[in-house]
Structure formats: structure tokens, C-alpha cells
Amino acid sequence: MTNVEKIFKSYFGYDKFLPGQKEAIESIVSGRDTLVIFPTGGGKSLCYQIPALIFKGITLVISPLISLMKDQVDELLGVGISSTYISSTISDREIDLRIQNMKKKTYKIVYIAPERFYSDVFIEALSHVEISFVAIDEAHCVSQWGHNFRPAYLKIKDFIDKIGNPVSAAFTATADTRVQEDIINLLGLIDCDKYINSFDRPNLSFIVEKHKNKMRYILKHVREHRASSGIIYAGTRKNVEKLFLFLKDRDISVGMYHAGLNSISRNKTQEDFINGNTKVIIATNAFGMGINKADVRYVIHYNMPKTVEDYYQEAGRAGRDGKRARCILLYSNEDMTLNRYIINTNYPPVKLVETIYKRVERRGKRGIYYDLLLNSYSRSKYAVESAIKKLIEHGYVKSDNGYLYAILNGAFDLTQESIDIHKDVELNKLIQIQGYCDSNKCLRKYILNYFNEDTQVEKCYNCSACGFKITGKESKKLETLLDDLFSAAKGK
């Protein structure tokens, strides 16, 4: 048994690797830069957690998802792996303490938000830490052609150069060939190995429904599958709350999750769902990253997502146990209007961004309370929130314990063009997901082709466009076959 296999078994309790997992891990352990593209549930996290235990120094995991950082750190601590995270949610004093502990090699894995790389002081501090491996999660964020471009990701290459070019690996669930090229070039991955698994999930049924009464459809579906766990995604917090109350008033075991709720409430909702105390969760896309629940039997989208990538990632949280599951998208023309509005609002006028920045700057070391800033303009909260987000993304301000502080005092050179540069990309991706909803051809083929995966199959007979030929005894046979395949992969 190799060292990789021993760690896989002893720390994480698995016997068999998922497809591509072992090969990707061995590539990283051998010292090669690596690109890993596995679908949701494909086991990406272990591909950097296992090498972290083999390398002598510390492993940095760069992740844009603060809630996911904490969840993964808690899981690693639970299996005896010393870990921590550094983000805007902790104080500068605590950050300094964790950096000092990094210098003492107290941790094996440290999660870091990419926005930290706007700080030269922070980068200089890390240059004195022995870092053996850098893992870049959600690596598609580095590409302006990706669906979640984050300007801070463009700083990662310089940071890797600064700390002596340790082994680096990039991970994502969604990247077409153009985004893959950007990941390799913009992150400076040298002569890297690629491990790309098929995007196909044969156990998932893809369904688009153009239903006049979406809430009634959801109620009927939930009642018919009362014993099953399901996730229902909605495009806004308002819709999440409306659906939650609608189902709760009809005696459905339901939870609610969105970024506007406090962390205690969100954590309890998440735990109740994972443990099976709550069967259905209504959520915005803030829910789901890193959620380790294998038996989700359906994912319903009350609103159409903005991109095929978002849809595939969220729908892919169904059926991670390999058994059959349904991915249902409830589509209406209003969804296009809603998403266009959200995209347009995400790219605020540069004058509003500059006005807010100057106000934060005037407060100096005192900072300004986030909620006060949010409520002190005549514009919509969403527009002000987007302007603040842009300031954080581009490294002009930082968030600390509910307060905002200026970082680049006196320097504001952001332009409307640099704000809008990704807007056309998002609008084009919106047209692509609309094409999926309107398609009268195989939905599975549409998704695979979108990710540049060639398939000769014209009909899958497991989507709403192709129909569902598998019924009765055939359905049971397929269920048994999928069980066997999944058990073989998991070594059960």
C-alpha cells in the first residue's frame, strides 16, 4: 500500500478512489503542476488534502468561499488534520497570530481568500513561511470568460512567484477549453498535467418545465416525494422566503438558507438538512458548496440560473450517491427579465463606486459600518451592495467585523470599462442557459457540448426533451446497475 493509499484509508476512511482521483494526487505528489476538472461530487478536495499531508511544508488552499473554508477546516480538524483559514471575517490581530503559527508549522493546511493578495504586507509575511503546495480552488474565477470572474485571482501568479514557485494545482467543476487555457496561463502552471473527467452524470434526469404555477408544481412534487431529500433553489432572497413560508404552512419539513440570515441560523439549517431532520431546503445559490450530502434525490430550480455552469454545479448536488435523481428547472419568460436585471445591477456606475470609496476613505482607521453605508443612499440596496462588492473585489476596501476600511488611500483609478468588461460575457452566458431551457433536443447533449465534450448520442432518453423510456422493471434494473457501479467505485 502506497503512502497516498494509507492516508486515503486512515484519515478519510475510503478504500477505492473515484475516477481520476489517484492519478491527480500522484501527479501533485510527484511535484508536477496539475489542472483537475471533476464534476460536482467528483472528489476534488481530497486531491489537495492528501498531498498536503505528504508534503513537508504547509499547503495553501485559495478559495473564494468563506463559508466553505470554515466547513472544510472543521471537517479536517475532526479527522485530526491541523488546519485553519484566513479571511475578512477574522480580526487583523487573529490573522497575525495565525501567520505566526504558520511560521511555526502549526498547521498542515491553511485556507485563504484571494482578496488577501491585494496586501503587500500579507504577501511579505507569507514569504517567510515554508509553503510546499498551493491549491487554487474554483480556478475558473481567474478567467474573464468564466462564470464567476474574480479580479483577485489575477494576483495569484505573482504571489506564487514571490514564494518561490512551489507545486501548484488548480481545481474546478466547470471550465470549457477557453477557460482551461486561461487557468493554465494566468496562474502560471508550468508544463502541467491535466485530469478532466466527463461532465456526464448518467444517473441524473434533466427536466425543464414551463409551468404556469411554479409553487403548485413544487408543492405537488415535494408531497409526492415526502420521504426524499431535496434542494429548491430560488433566484432571490424574497423568493426563498416566499417558498419557505408557502411549504411550511402546508406542513412540509422545510428549511431556509440565504446570505441575509445570521450564521447561527444558516448553520442550524445546514446541519438539520445534512442530518435528515429537515427533508427540503429552500435556498439561494449561497447554499451547497462543499455540502457533503449524498442522498439528495432532487434539485429544483424555481428560477433559471444565470449560466449553464451555475445550473450544472447546483443541479449536480443531486444523486451524489450514484442513485437516480432528478434535476428540474422551472422556466418562465420572467426569469430572463430577473437575470438581466441582476446582471445589470452587478455592474454599477463607476461614479457610485467612487463616491462610496471616498466616504469609506474619509473615515480612516475608524471605518464605516457596512449596514449604515448600505442604507444611506437613495439608490437600491442591491446597487449599493454591488458597488461595495466591486471595491472589495478590486482591493480598494476590506471588510472586518461588519466594518469597511479603505486600503488604497487616495488611489482610485477604476473605470467603467473595467467594471463592465465581464458584463457582455455574462449576458452571452444568459442566452446560452435560455437556449438550454428552450431546446427541443437532448438536454444532456446540450450540457456536454457546452463544456466542449463530444458525444455521438443524439437521444439520452433520460431528459424531458428526449422522453423517458426507462420505466417499471427496466428502471429497477438501471437502479441496480448504478448501485453496482457506484459501490465498485467507492469500494463498498
| pLDDT tens-digit map of 170-186 | 999 888 889 999 999 99
CA dihedral 165, 120, 347, 360 (to 10 degrees): 160
For residue 66, pLDDT beyond 80: no
Query: Domain 348-421, what fold?
Result: Arc Repressor Mutant, subunit A (1.10.10)
Q: Span 188-212, mean pLDDT? A: 93
pLDDT of residue 117: 86
Instruction: Please calculate the CA angle 417-422-424 and round it to the nearest 5 degrees.
Output: 95
Average pLDDT along the chain: 89
Asked if residue 313 lies in contact with residue 447, where contact means CB atoms within 8 angstroms, the answer is no
For residue 40, pLDDT beyond 50: yes
For residue 400, pLDDT beyond 50: yes
Q: Span 237-257, mean pLDDT? A: 95
Q: Give first-to-last CA distance, the chain, whole Å.
A: 18
Confidence of residue 211 (pLDDT cuts 50, 70, 90): confident
Antiparallel, parallel or unpaired: β 58-62 and 131-136: parallel
In the chain, residues under CATH classification 3.40.50.300 are: 3-196, 204-336+452-467
pLDDT in tens, 415-439: 999 888 888 889 999 999 999 999 9
pLDDT of residue 401: 78
Longest dimension (CA), the chain: 71
Query: Domain 3-196, what fold?
Result: Rossmann fold (3.40.50)
Phi, psi of 205 (to 5 degrees): -95, 130
Confidence of residue 35 (pLDDT cuts 50, 70, 90): very high
For residue 227, pLDDT beyond 60: yes
Q: What is the architecture of the domain spanning 204-336+452-467?
A: 3-Layer(aba) Sandwich (3.40)
pLDDT of residue 1: 64
pTM of the model: 0.82
Residues with Cβ < 8 Å from 267, sequence gap 6 or more? none
In the chain, residues under CATH classification 1.10.10.10 are: 348-421
For residue 473, pLDDT beyond 70: no
